[in-house]
Chains A and B, each alone.
Chain A
Amino acid sequence: MITIDASGMHYKDLNKLIREGIGRGIKKFFLENVNGQYYIGDGIKGDDIVININGVPGNDLGVFMDGPTIVVNGNAQDNVGNTMNAGKILIKGDAGDVVGYGMRGGRIYILGNAGYRVGIHMKGYDEQLPVIIIGGKVGSFFAEYMAGGVIVLLGLNDTDDTCSDYFATGMHGGVIYLRKKIDFSKYSKEVDLYEADDKDTAFLKKYLLEYADNFNIAFEDIMDKSFYKIVPSSARPYAHLYTSA
């Protein structure tokens, strides 16, 4: 275990300390006074490594990360979990734009809201199943070009619009679960909306139990409503657009 006071530290120095610490076999990192440093957890590997952050980490938190867990006791900025491969990021506040871009595996749990372009081009194959759960609401361009994985949008803060314009445009794989019904007519023509069935609920339970436990909220409060499920209407939303010369 190691505690690092990050105040006034450049990201290069901070991340070097973390990398070197991992090299020395340290498993637990407590980062204090983090203030906008980029790339925390960039490309680090190891399922048993935990980084606990007090303060606000900068962009690209956990980018290319492969296994470790990052806990942010507050808000995070843009590009959380960018192209992440495995591991877990817990944000006990809000996250900025572009959460989980091109994410390939692992979990990102956000207690509050997330910004624009969440889950763009998320992927998945067999056991590689990335999962993003957002407690609040999200901005526009949610799940654009989504190709795999799971995104759960809870809308726990009870605002009317949990998501905004250009919802799931070009989605061609994966699944989105919504706890609040949306005015579906306003959104992408490329996806279909269903009521979640027992199989879906059983699947969700596994992740939502963990989510509730991690954030210390009552599981029953999350499950008080029935869920809706959004899947792509076609695996090839744009095939009809082209003709071969």
Chain B
Amino acid sequence: MRFLNRSAGRLSRHRRGRFAGLAVLLVALLVTGGAYAALAPAGQAEQSQDNAELVEQGRELFLVGCSTCHGQNGEGVLDVNGNQLGPSLQGVGGAAVDFQVGTGRMPMVQPGQQNPRKSVAYSDDETAALAAFVQSLAPGPDVPDESDYDPSSIYELPEDERDAAINRGQQIFLTNCTACHNFNGRGGAMPRGGYAPTLRGVSDKHIYEAMLTGPSQMDVFSDGNIPPENKREVIAFLETLQEQPQQGGFSLGGLGPVGEGLYVWVVGIGGLVGFAVWIAAHTTRTKKGKETA
């Protein structure tokens, strides 16, 4: 208290000085600024510190695992023939990395028409580091938060609102996705040996990221196009599709009329012709039996 009083006196002594006001302001700023830095927003500083570390860790992983194709700064690499070894990753964002690495697509092993899902090569932490690194290259859609993609909030809605949300999800899915992925999410063919894969068993996060980043031939469905809320509804619909019972019996692959045609010939016609042969043969057999007896 004394100290405070004393300094207050001293301050008042200089009050009339030309720069007194400024000095006061400066000191106040410094004090509050320093106090703030020392106490309150410790997270931010640490985060940027951590982020820098994460980016650094990501850069190291990237240099080892990805740079042969994507270049040391993710700028993309052309081979001697001018073909793209790996595209530029500037601006694809952390979400694309999280999707590509999290589904095992990257690092790519064999260049080909389609880069399939395979077993994941990096741990979750490493994936996060790679994502952070690519996100640091140029702004792009970052790895989504759980609150973005988790559809459980939809399931908690009252019944009619929930039905409406899932119904919207189906409508969006039918409008935007079935042309490639089929009505049942079972996948379909793309030109030249490519394919849109089945959506069964794909995690919510990866469905969300796939829409956000549009891997390879798939379109990008940005948030302006399909807002996060609607993306969640699509995810909820896809989950409902997977979980609902097979009302009609075995789904026969869920690929539509081609599968049905195959089954009708193999099981239906095949079985009935088998019966016809059996019935016709039956009498010949009894006849034979009688003759030899």
A associates with B: no
Q: List residues of A whose CB falls within 8 A of some B CB.
A: none
Chain B interfacial positions (CB closer than 8 Å to A): none
